[in-house]
Chains A and B, each alone.
Chain A
Amino acid sequence: MLGKGVVGGGGGTKAPKPSFVSYVRPEEIHTNEKEVTEKEVTLHLLPGEQLLCEASTVLKYVQEDSCQHGVYGRLVCTDFKIAFLGDDESALDNDETQFKNKVIGENDITLHCVDQIYGVFDEKKKTLFGQLKKYPEKLIIHCKDLRVFQFCLRYTKEEEVKRIVSGIIHHTQAPKLLKRLFLFSYATAAQNNTVTDPKNHTVMFDTLKDWCWELERTKGNMKYKAVSVNEGYKVCERLPAYFVVPTPLPEENVQRFQGHGIPIWCWSCHNGSALLKMSALPKEQDDGILQIQKSFLDGIYKTIHRPPYEIVKTEDLSSNFLSLQEIQTAYSKFKQLFLIDNSTEFWDTDIKWFSLLESSSWLDIIRRCLKKAIEITECMEAQNMNVLLLEENASDLCCLISSLVQLMMDPHCRTRIGFQSLIQKEWVMGGHCFLDRCNHLRQNDKEEVPVFLLFLDCVWQLVHQHPPAFEFTETYLTVLSDSLYIPIFSTFFFNSPHQKDTNMGREGQDTQSKPLNLLTVWDWSVQFEPKAQTLLKNPLYVEKPKLDKGQRKGMRFKHQRQLSLPLTQSKSSPKRGFFREETDHLIKNLLGKRISKLINSSDELQDNFREFYDSWHSKSTDYHGLLLPHIEGPEIKVWAQRYLRWIPEAQILGGGQVATLSKLLEMMEEVQSLQEKIDERHHSQQAPQAEAPCLLRNSARLSSLFPFALLQRHSSKPVLPTSGWKALGDEDDLAKREDEFVDLGDV
C-alpha cells in the first residue's frame, strides 16, 4: 500500500516480484542433512517402477499467502514419475481428512503430467529442453493438472543437479516408443495383483452383447443392428470390433472405404429419432473416384431416407463448427491463466482477469459446443429428425457432440455407470485418439488437442447448473480429468480399440505370452479408498423412481403423446428429387465449398432453436428428463475446483459451496440416525451404523476448493491484493470531480 503522506503517487505502485532470500546459512546445511537422513521417507514404487536418478538436499518451495518458505527433501525420477520426498511428509500422512490418491501422492508428478519445465538462471526464467550447457539454480515444473512445483537446487551437490535435471528433461521430453511406456511395465509386473472390482458395472462395449443391450435399452433395435463385420478388425483398424448400423445397410458396404461413409448409430431417442455419425470419405481429385464416392453416398442416403427412417439432418462438424486447432490454441491460453508462480503474478492478472479469460476463447468454445448440442437435441426431440454427425474421422468432435446430446436427452447417462458407459461407447470405442491427443509419446505435439477436457468442462457446466440431475460430483469430474495423465490405466491411453488389443497381445500374434490385463480408470478403488470415494457420489442425486403398474400405463400414454405431437409439427417428407439435392450438398461440403442455401436455412434454425430453448427454460426442471444448459454470457463459468485448486490466493477459507454441502450431509446423517432409532423402537433391532463421511468435518476450516488445496495456512490472515488501480481512462474527469459542493465560507 501507499506510504503515508505520499503526494506525488498516482495510485498503487507495482511491487517488484519477490525473489527467494535464503535464510539458511551454509553452516546449517550439515544439520539439515542429518535431519534428512534420520527422517528419510521411503519412496513408494509401483510394481514395475524403477528408480532412475535422484538428488538430495533439494528445497521445495511451499507457496502460501505472500511469503515463500520451503521444505527440504529428496527429488527423484523414476520411469513413471517425478517425486519429492519431503521431511514433513509424515505429518500429512496422519491427516485423516486428506483426500489422497493412492497412486499419485501430493508431491508426485507423473511423467505424462509434466507440461513445461523451466529453469531459473540468475533470476531469469527460461524454458529447459535438450542438452544443457549450464544448470539452473531453481527448477519450475508446470503440470497438466495445473500444479506448479518450484525446487531450489542451490544446496544440492553439483553432480546430483546435473543428473536429476538431465534425467527429468530426458524422461519427460524425449520421444518414446509405445511398447516402452510404463503402462506395459506396470501391467507385466502387476499381473498377479489385478483385482477386478465386482461393483464396477460399466458397460465396456467390447462385445456384441453390450451393443445389443444398448440397442434394446434405447429401443433402437427395430431400425438398427449390431454388426460383427469388423471382428478381429478385418475391415478397419479405426472402428471397434462391433458397432451398430441401419438394419437395411448391407454389411459389405462397410468394407468399401474402410468404414468411411458408413452411418454408425450412437443412440436412439424415445420418439424414435436417432443420432448417427459418419466419417467423411477421403478427399479425392480424381473425377472417376469422386463419381464412385458420389454413387456410394447416394446409396447410403437412399437407405437412411427410406421408411422406416424419417428425415435425416446432416451436421458437418468439420467445416461448420470448431476446428481442432482452435480448441488447442484456446486451451493453451486458458491454462496459462492458472499456472501461477507467485502471489504477485496472481494479483497482476487479477486486474484484467475477465479480458484474459475472454481472449483465451475457452469459455466461448464451451458455449458453442453446448449450443451445437442443444440444436441437435432440438432436431431430435422437437422435430423428430434423425441427425447424422459428419467429421473427417468421426473421432473428435463427433465424440464430443454425441456425448453431450446423450447427456442432455438420456438421464441414464447422468448416472455414474451410465456416464462411464457413455465414455466407453463414444470415446474409447469411438476411436478417439487419446494417445495422440494427450501426446503420450511426445512425438508430435501438433496432434495434441484437449478434446476430452473440453467435453469434461462442458459436462461440468451442466453439473454446476443442475446438480440434482447427476449421480456424480464435480470432484468426480476433476479426478477423471487427472486420470488422463496417470498412465497405468488403459482407458485414456490408446488411439483405437485395435491398437489396445494388439498391444495387449490378444490378437494371437504371440501365442506364447499371456495377454496383459490392463486397468481401467473405472475401478476407482485403485486410486481412492472407500472413504474418499464418497466424495465422488452426489448426495443431491435421487434415483429415478421405479414405476408401478398404474404409473406404467400413464407413462406409455405420455410416450405416445410425445410421439404424436412433434409429428404434427414436423415438415412434410421431402420428395424423391430432394435426395439428389441433399447428396449434392454433401459432396460439395466434402470438397470444402460453401452453399448459400445453408445460410438461408440458418435463420430458420435459429428461430427453432430459440423457441425450443426458451420453452424448455420456462418450465421447472425435470431432472430425469430432458436437461438443457443455460448458455448466456454470465452462465458459463470457470470450473474453479479444477483450475483454481492449487492457487493458495484463490482459496476461501471456511467458505465456498463445500460449506452448504457439509451442512446437507450433516442433516442427511441426522435424518438417517433418527430413522434408525424409529426402526429400533419398532423392531428392537440394531441397525447397522452408516459410515459417516468424516472428510467433511470441520467445514469452517475447509478450503472452498476442497477436497484439493488442503494447504495448512499458518494463520487466518486475509488474502489482500497487491496490485494497484488500473487507470480509468476516459473517466479521469469524473474521478477528479469533487464529491460535494464545498462552501468555502466555512474555511
Chain B
Amino acid sequence: MASASTSKYNSHSLENESIKRTSRDGVNRDLTEAVPRLPGETLITDKEVIYICPFNGPIKGRVYITNYRLYLRSLETDSSLILDVPLGVISRIEKMGGATSRGENSYGLDITCKDMRNLRFALKQEGHSRRDMFEILTRYAFPLAHSLPLFAFLNEEKFNVDGWTVYNPVEEYRRQGLPNHHWRITFINKCYELCDTYPALLVVPYRASDDDLRRVATFRSRNRIPVLSWIHPENKTVIVRCSQPLVGMSGKRNKDDEKYLDVIRETNKQISKLTIYDARPSVNAVANKATGGGYESDDAYHNAELFFLDIHNIHVMRESLKKVKDIVYPNVEESHWLSSLESTHWLEHIKLVLTGAIQVADKVSSGKSSVLVHCSDGWDRTAQLTSLAMLMLDSFYRSIEGFEILVQKEWISFGHKFASRIGHGDKNHTDADRSPIFLQFIDCVWQMSKQFPTAFEFNEQFLIIILDHLYSCRFGTFLFNCESARERQKVTERTVSLWSLINSNKEKFKNPFYTKEINRVLYPVASMRHLELWVNYYIRWNPRIKQQQPNPVEQRYMELLALRDEYIKRLEELQLANSAKLSDPPTSPSSPSQMMPHVQTHF
C-alpha cells in the first residue's frame, strides 16, 4: 500500500479522504504505487521537476499527472508528499522562460490556481519535458477545450450514502408546511419551458394561475418570476425571490406583475405592505434601465416598499478577491497589514451581504412584512441573501444535511451559474463571468459560525471541503449553470455527489459544541469589529501562519465527551453488578473497590 505523509500544503481532508477511500476499496495495490488514485483515475505521465516552493525554496521532486490531479512527491525526502492539486483548481498555465534562459530554475511552468495559491516548476530544457507537461496539463485541466469529459464523468467512486437523494424539493417544501391554503406547488416548469434557469418544481401563490405566471414571466429578466423560498412557521410571512423587472428607459409597467406582487402580499393578512429588497446599489439599478432592466417604482407598486442593499456586482467582487490574494500569497503583507486588508474591500463586501441578509431575516421574523428579494437576474446576490437569511431564521439549515439542502435549493436548483462563475474545465481565465459569489456566501457562513460557535452542526472543515470541491471537478454537484442543463447531461446518474463524500464521513465534519435549538433566530453583528479574514482558508498554504492545529477548547471538549461516555458505561456495569448482587447473595468476601480500581480524573 502506498503511503503518504501528511500533506503540508493541501487540504488535509481531501488527502486523507483519498487515502482512506483507496483503503476502503479493499483493493490490493502495488507497493510501488506512487499516486493514490480514485476509481476511474488514470495516470497520464510523470516527470522529474524542481518545485519552486515560495516558502521553503526549490525542492527536487517527481510530478505525477493523472486525469484528475497533479501530484508532487519529493525526491529529497522519502515518500514526502508536497502537492496534491486537483486539475480543476488550475486557472491558468503559463510558460516561464525561453530557449535563451540561463538562470537557475528560470525555465519551466507557472500555474495560477483558483484556491489562493500559485505553483511554479522548473524543468530541464532538454527533452521537451516542459512542452509535454504543458500540453498534458492544458488538456486535462481544461478538458472542455479539447472535447474531453470532466473527471466527474469518469469518477467511479462508490459511497455508503447516495448524496443525490439528500435534496428532494417536495420533501423540503413539505417540511415547511407547504403546500397550504395560500401557496401551491406548480409543475409549469416541468420541462423548463417557463424559465430554463429555474427548477422544475416551483411554489407560487395559490391565487395565481399558471397563465398568470406566464404573463409575469415576460416582465421579469430571464423569465425568473417571483417564487417562494421560505415561509415562517408561525407568522407565515415569506421570502420570495426573483429577477429584476424589465422596466427599461421608458418606465414600462406590467399589470400582471403588479397584481402578482399584491397576491403575494395578500397571502398574509397581517401585513400591510410587501417589502422589496433590491440587492444592488441604487445607481446600478437605475443604470440597468438602459439595458431594459430596472426596479419596482412606487408609482406602479403602491403596496410595496423598496430598499436597496448596496451589494456590488460580480466584477467588483472578482477584483476584490484578487486583491486579497495579492496581500496573502505567497507572503502575508506584514507592514500595513490592516490597511492592506481594508484596501481589498473584501470584508466590506462581506459586511454588506450580511447586513442585507439580517434585514431580510429581521423583516420576516418580526412578522411585519413578507419579503421579495432580487438583484439583476436573481442568481448571484439574491441567492446570497435568501440563503443567509434562511440560515439565520431556520435552525434546520444549520445542521449538516440541512445546509446541504439549503445549498442545493437556493444555489443549485435556482440556477446560480456555477460553471460560468468558476470556469469548470474552461481555459479562459480572463472571462468576465468569473466571480467568487459562492465563496463569499461560504465566507459569510464562516463569519456566522465564528460568532455563534455552538449553533452549527458542521465545523470549519466542512466549509473548506465544500470550497475545495467547488473547484475540483471530482463531483457533479456544482457543475453546469442550471438544473435543466444538469438534467440534459444526466448529472445525477453519471457523476457522484459531493454530499455522498461528506455524509459518509459525517464525524469528521461535526462541530462538537453544536447545540440543537428550535426557532432561535441568529443575528450576527455585521461590524468590522467582529469580521475577520478567514485565515484557515485564505492563508492556509503558508506554513508560517498558524498550522491547522486542533482548537484546544474543542480538543478538551472531545476528551470530556469521551470521558463522560466511559463513565456512563461504567456506571451501567456497576448497576448491573448491583442487580446481580441483589438477586444472588454475595459469596465473595472481596470488596467492590478491589474488584474495580479507582480512577481519579483531574481537570
Contact = CB atoms under 8 A, between A and B. Distances in A.
B173 interface: no
Interface residues of B, number: 106
Contact of B248 (A346, A663, A716, A747): A747
B451 A655 contact: yes
A725 B315 contact: no
Given A738-B288, A746-B292, A726 B452 contact: no
Contact of B520 (A651, A660, A678, A700): A700
Contact of A635 (B453, B543, B545, B553): B545
A347 to B, nearest CB: 8
Contacts of B529: 350, 353, 638, 640, 644, 650
B293 to A, nearest CB: 7
Interface string A4-22: 1111011110000000000
A649 B376 CA distance: 32
Interface of A: 1-2, 4-7, 9-12, 346-347, 350-355, 357-359, 363, 466-468, 539-540, 542-543, 614, 617-618, 620-621, 630, 632-635, 637-638, 640, 644, 649-657, 659-661, 663-664, 667-668, 670-672, 674-675, 677-679, 681-683, 699-700, 704, 716-721, 724-726, 728, 731, 734-740, 742, 744, 746-747
B526 to A, nearest CB: 6
B560 A664 contact: yes
Given A634-B332, A660-B557, A739-B314, A725 B352 contact: yes
A350 B355 CA distance: 13
B530 A734 contact: no
Given A671-B560, A674-B568, A728-B345, A12 B310 contact: yes
Contact of B564 (A617, A657, A667, A740): A667
A664 B553 CA distance: 8
Nearest to A717: B362
Interface stretch (B182-190, B264-272, B333-341): B333-341
Nearest to B311: A725
Given A735-B315, A740-B377, 4 more contacts: A11-B283, A355-B342, A653-B523, A655-B452
A650 B362 contact: no
A422 B22 CA distance: 54
A518 to B, nearest CB: 35
Contacts of B528: 350-351, 353-354
A649 B520 contact: no
26 contacts: A4-B306, A4-B307, A7-B286, A11-B281, A350-B528, A355-B338, A632-B332, A650-B527, A654-B452, A657-B453, A657-B553, A667-B557, A675-B601, A678-B574, A682-B592, A682-B596, A683-B593, A699-B454, A718-B362, A719-B527, A725-B348, A735-B281, A735-B312, A740-B376, A742-B221, A744-B292
Contacts of B560: 664, 667-668, 671
A464 to B, nearest CB: 11
Contact of B316 (A468, A731, A738, A742): A731
Given A10-B283, A739-B375, A467 B553 contact: yes
A664 B530 contact: no
B145 interface: no
Contacts of A354: 338-339, 341-342, 347, 528
B461 interface: no
B342 A736 contact: no
Interface in B539-569: 539, 543-547, 549, 552-554, 556-557, 560-561, 563-564, 567-568
B365 to A, nearest CB: 9
A654 B395 CA distance: 14
A652 B447 CA distance: 12
Contacts of B517: 700
A698 to B, nearest CB: 12
B593 to A, nearest CB: 5
Nearest to B538: A634
B78 interface: no
B523 A617 contact: no
A678 B571 contact: yes
B380 interface: yes
Nearest to A737: B315
B454 A720 contact: no
B337 A634 contact: yes
Interface in B375-391: 375-377, 380
B41 interface: no
Contacts of A719: 523, 525-527
B313 A540 contact: no
B359 interface: yes
Interface string B283-310: 1101110011101011100001111101
B567 A678 contact: yes
B292 A652 contact: no
B43 interface: no
